């Protein structure tokens, strides 16, 4: 299944992340329902699953969506992120970057050059 839809106007394209993760489990049986449910999440730009390679390809706004939420959907349908060392390494890195993006998106910039309140 390959799904693309127009990126939400409210989403910030600066936070758009593209991820590629290998899947284990019943991918050939459940790939369509997994992709359809992930595609309904706010902030998801595109999702596809290459069944022959058991590869999840997803693009999402990391200020609105986290990889953990996507993994919950995958696990709900008898699949999981592969436990090989490379996929495990990428998954950890992706989660680190996602959290950093989310934290920075909500951070209020501060400057010592601003006038104090009330002046």
Task: Note the pLDDT tens digit of each residue in 20-75.
Answer: 999 998 888 989 999 999 999 888 888 999 999 999 999 999 888 889 999 999 99
For residue 117, being part of any structural domain is answered with no
What residue spans of the chain are helical by DSSP H? 27-39, 67-76, 85-106
- Residue 109: the pLDDT is 66
Q: Does any domain span residue 119? A: no
Report yes or no on 118 lying in a domain: no
Q: Which domain holds residue 12?
A: 2-106
For residue 115, is it within any domain?
no
Taking the model in full, what pTM does it have?
0.75
Question: Which residues, 6 or more positions from 24, have their beta carbon under 8 angstroms from its beta carbon?
Answer: 54, 79, 80, 81, 82, 83
Structural domain count, the chain: 1
Q: What is the CATH number of the domain that holds 15?
A: 3.30.70.100
Radius of gyration of the chain (CA): 17
């Amino acid at each position: 299944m390959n799904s693309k839809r127009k990126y939400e106007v409210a989403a910030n394209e600066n936070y758009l992340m593209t991820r590629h993760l290998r899947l284990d489990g019943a991918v050939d049986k459940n790939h369509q329902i997994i992709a359809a449910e992930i595609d309904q999440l706010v902030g998801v730009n595109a999702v596809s699953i290459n069944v022959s390679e058991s590869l999840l390809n997803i693009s999402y706004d990391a200020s609105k969506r986290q990889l953990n939420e996507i993994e919950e959907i995958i696990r709900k349908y008898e699949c999981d992120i592969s436990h090989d060392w490379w996929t495990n390494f990428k998954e950890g890195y992706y989660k680190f970057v996602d959290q950093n993006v989310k934290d920075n998106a909500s951070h209020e910039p501060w400057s010592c050059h601003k006038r104090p309140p009330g002046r």
